[in-house]
Amino acid sequence: MCGIVGFTGNRNAMTAVIQGLSGLEYRGYDSAGIAWVADARLAVKKTAGRVDDLAKILPVAHPSLAIGHTRWATHGAPDETNAHPHLSPDGKIAIVHNGIVDNYLALKQTLGEAFLSDTDSEVVAHLIAREYRGDLLAAVEKVLPLLDGTYALAVIAADQPDLLIAARKGSPLVVGIADDATLVASDVVPILPYTKEVVYLDDGQVVVCRGKSARFRAAGREIEVATTTIDWSVEAAQKGGYPHFMLKEIFEQPAALRNLVHHRVKIENNAPAFNLEGIELPTDYFRGVGRIVLIAQGTAYHAAMIGRNLIERTALIPSYAEYAADFHYRDPLLDPSVLVIALTQSGETMDTLQGVRKARDAGCKVVAVVNTVGSTIAREADGVFYMHCGPEIGVASTKAFTAMVASLYILSLRMAQMRRTLDPAEIMRRTLDLAQVGPRLEAVLSTANYIRQIAGRYAEAKNFLFLGRGTGWPLAMEGALKLKEVSYIHAEGYDAAEMKHGPIALIDENMPCLFIALLGRRYGKVRSNIQEVRARRGRVIAIASHNDDQIHEVVDDVIYVRAESGVMNSLVCAVPLQLLAYYIAAAKNCDVDKPRGLAKSVTVE
Ligand code: F6R
C-alpha cells in the first residue's frame, strides 16, 4: 500500500511526480506530499487530501529532482503531519516510504530525538541524517540493515540537487531509465509517459540515480541488472472517456479475454495447442501432481474457487481453494506432489506472497497467475502465467477476475491434455467455446443500460444477499464483495443451499436477494430457494439463462445472459454483477474508483 515516485532529470520533476502520484492513487489516497530541492534547500508540501488537492497548493517551480508519496495509513492518522515526505530534524534529508518498519519504536529510542509524526517511516530520515557526511549513498547503505520489515524508499538531500537514491525490501519498486531522466515508482504507471524501459528492483537492491544515469547495487557493490520493455501504452492507464476506471475496465473485458485466449491458444491440425509460456514444467510433472491448492485473497480467491471446480472436473486432480493468509498461518500438510497456484492481479499481495513462500519452503512447485509483469510474486514463483489484461487501476477488481477464471480454464484444459483425462474432441469443443468469449461478453455489456435501470431500483437498499449454487456460489461471493466495497451497502454472498441454515432469518421485504439461477443441474434447487425468499416477501433479482422463459414469473427483475458451458457461465454472470455494483454506487455518488479505507495493492498482512 502507499505509492511512491521519484524523479531526477532534465524535465520538471514536480510535474512528473504529481502526475505519477495520480496514477498511483489506487495504492492509497488518504494523504499526499512532495519534496523537491530548490536553492540548496528542501521544499515540502503535504495535504491530508488527495493528489489533486496537493497539486492545488503547489507553487510554480521547475525543480529537476523531487520525491512524492500517496498514503494508505498504517501507523498514525491520515493527517498532514503523518503524510510523507518525512524530513530529518535539520530539514536536510527527505524520504518517502512504502512498507512498514517493524522495529521503528526501538530505533526511535536509540536516537532519543523528538519526532513530529506518529509514523514508522520518519525514523528512517533521522537515521540517514545521523550517518550523512556528504555521501548520501554511504549513509543510506549504513541505515538499510538496521530496518526490520519492508520498504520501498526514495531519499534525497538538500545539498545534492540531482541525486536520488532508492532501495527495496519487500515492497515493489520499479526504475525507469529515459533519455533525459530517471524515475523510481511503486509501479510502471508513473514511468510510462517517459520511457518503457524499466528495471524491477529485487529485494536488497539499491539504485543511485543522477539525471539520466542509474547505477544498481546490492550488498554494497555495483551490479548488472536486466531491463524489461513494458508493452502497456500510456492510454491504457487513463480513463479514455469513461467516468471511472472501474467502468472502463468492465468494458475492456471482451478485448482483454479475447487477447488472452488468442495469445494462449492456437488451433493447429484441428487440435488446440496451448501456450503455457512462463511455466516451464515438464509434462511428466503435471502427470504426477497429487493435489492442487489455489491460494489468493479477495476477488482472486473467488476466481480460485471457480478454478478449483474447473480443474477437478477437467484435469481430475483433487483441488482446493484457500485464503492465502490462512494457508500461510495454518501450517497445511504439504509435500512436493502438491502444486500451488497463486492468483493475484497485482502480484504484490502480502498474504498471497507469504503463502507462495510457505509453499516453496515445503518443496511444492508454485505457479502464479498474475497481471502485473515483474511483480514480486511473479518473480518468486517457479512459473508465471501472465494474463496480460492491461493495467487494472479501479480499486475494485473486475477484468482481472474474469481473466483469472479464463486463465485457470486454459491451464485446466492443458493439464487435461497432458494427463489424458478428457477426450481430445471434448478439449477441442471446450476450446472453441472459450474462443467465443469476446462476443459473449459483448452481448452482456450491451445490456448495461438495462442493468443501470435495475440498479436505480435498489440503490436505497441497506443490505443485500447474493445466492447461487455450484460456481454460482463464488460468483455470489464476488457480487457481494463488489457491491459492498464500492457502494458501502452491506452484502453477503452464500451458497444458496446454506440459506436455510441461518441467513434465511434475515429475509423480509427490505432484503433484496440476487440469485445466480442459470439452467442446468442445480436450477430446480435454486428455483426452490427463490420461492423460499418470495414466501418471506424478499425482493428477487435473477441472473438467468437467455432461454429461460419462466423465471420472470417468480422474480422482480431478471438479467438474461447467454452461455452454453460451465466456464462461459461464470464469465458472463460476472459482468452483470460488476455492472450492478458499479451503477448502484454511481447512483449513490460514491467514489467508485477509490472506495473509503481501501487500497488496490494490499502489501501489509
Ligand atoms: C476486490 C479486490 C480485492 C483484491 C485482493 C487481492 O475488488 O480488488 O479483494 O482482489 O486484494 O488482490 P490481488 O489480486 O492483487 O492479489
- What digits encode the pLDDT tens for the residues 399-446? 999 999 999 999 999 999 999 999 999 999 999 999 999 999 999 999
**Ligand 1 atom with the shortest distance to the CA of 349:** 16
Question: Which candidate in 2, 389, 513, 573 is catalytic?
Answer: 2
Q: Does one domain contain both 303 and 196?
A: no
Q: Does one domain contain both 147 and 287?
A: no
Q: How confident is the model at residue 284 (pLDDT cuts 50, 70, 90)?
A: confident
- Based on the residue annotation, tell me whether 590 is a catalytic residue of this protein: no
**Tens of pLDDT along 116-141?**
999 999 999 999 999 999 999 999 99
- The C-alpha cell at 436 is 467465443
Q: Is 345 in the pocket of ligand 1 (CB under 6 A)?
A: yes
Q: Does one domain contain both 259 and 399?
A: yes
Q: Is 602 in the pocket of ligand 1 (CB under 6 A)?
A: yes
The answer to whether the beta carbons of residues 394 and 591 sit under 8 Å apart is no
Whether residue 64 lies inside any domain: the answer is yes
Q: Does one domain contain both 416 and 472?
A: no
The mean predicted confidence, pLDDT, of the chain is: 94
Measured in angstroms, how far is the CA atom of residue 349 from the centroid of ligand 1? 8
Rounded to whole angstroms, the Cα distance separating 542 from 513 reads: 8
**Tens of pLDDT along 332-362?**
999 999 999 999 999 999 999 999 999 999 9
- The C-alpha cell at 73 is 495509513
Nearest CA to ligand 1 atom 8: 397
Q: Does one domain contain both 407 and 488?
A: no
Q: Is the pLDDT of residue 282 over 90?
A: no
β strands within 448-565, DSSP E = 463-468, 490-495, 512-517, 539-545, 557-561
Rounded to whole angstroms, the Cα distance separating 65 from 212 reads: 12
**pLDDT in the model for residue 428:** 95
Alpha helix locations (H) across 277-382?
283-288, 298-315, 324-330, 350-361, 376-380
Whether residue 404 lies inside any domain: the answer is yes
Rounded to whole angstroms, the Cα distance separating 369 from 346 reads: 10
Q: Is 350 in the pocket of ligand 1 (CB under 6 A)?
A: no
Please indicate, yes or no, whether the overall pTM of this predicted structure exceeds 0.85.
no
Q: Does one domain contain both 457 and 582?
A: yes
The last residue of a domain, from among 407, 435, 463? 435
CATH number at residue 424: 3.40.50.10490
- Based on the residue annotation, tell me whether 2 is a catalytic residue of this protein: yes
Q: How many domains does the chain have?
A: 3
CA torsion sign for 174, 177, 182, 188 is negative
Alpha helix locations (H) across 177-318?
245-251, 253-264, 283-288, 298-315
Whether residue 443 lies inside any domain: the answer is no
- The C-alpha cell at 352 is 498471497
Q: What is the H or E stretch that residue 137 is in?
A: helix 136-143
Rounded to whole angstroms, the Cα distance separating 516 from 463 reads: 18
Q: Does one domain contain both 258 and 198?
A: no
User: For the residues 449-476, what does the mean pLDDT come to?
Assistant: 97
Q: What is the H or E stretch that residue 419 is in?
A: helix 399-419
Question: Which candidate in 46, 169, 594, 600 is catalytic?
Answer: 600
Measured in angstroms, how far is the CA atom of residue 248 from the centroid of ligand 1? 18
- The secondary structure of 474-501 as a DSSP string is HHHHHHHHHHHHHH--EEEEEEGGGGGG
CATH number at residue 18: 3.60.20.10
Q: Does one domain contain both 210 and 291?
A: no
**Tens of pLDDT along 199-247?**
999 999 999 999 999 999 999 999 999 999 887 777 777 787 899 999 9
**Ligand 1 atom with the shortest distance to the CA of 396:** 7
Q: Is the pLDDT of residue 604 over 80?
A: no
Whether residue 442 lies inside any domain: the answer is no
Give the structural domain span for 182. Answer: 3-230
Rounded to whole angstroms, the Cα distance separating 188 from 374 reads: 10
The last residue of a domain, from among 435, 459, 482? 435
Q: Does one domain contain both 417 and 315?
A: yes
Whether residue 18 lies inside any domain: the answer is yes
Q: Does one domain contain both 130 and 58?
A: yes
Order of strands, edge to edge, in the sheet holding 213-218?
86-87, 93-98, 151-157, 163-169, 205-210, 213-218, 221-223
Q: Does one domain contain both 419 and 458?
A: no
Measured in angstroms, how far is the CA atom of residue 531 from the centroid of ligand 1? 34
Rounded to whole angstroms, the Cα distance separating 352 from 344 reads: 8
Whether residue 363 lies inside any domain: the answer is yes
Q: Is 375 in the pocket of ligand 1 (CB under 6 A)?
A: no
Q: Is 372 in the pocket of ligand 1 (CB under 6 A)?
A: no
Whether residue 240 lies inside any domain: the answer is no
Q: Does one domain contain both 85 and 204?
A: yes
The last residue of a domain, from among 435, 468, 485? 435
The answer to whether the beta carbons of residues 359 and 340 sit under 8 Å apart is yes
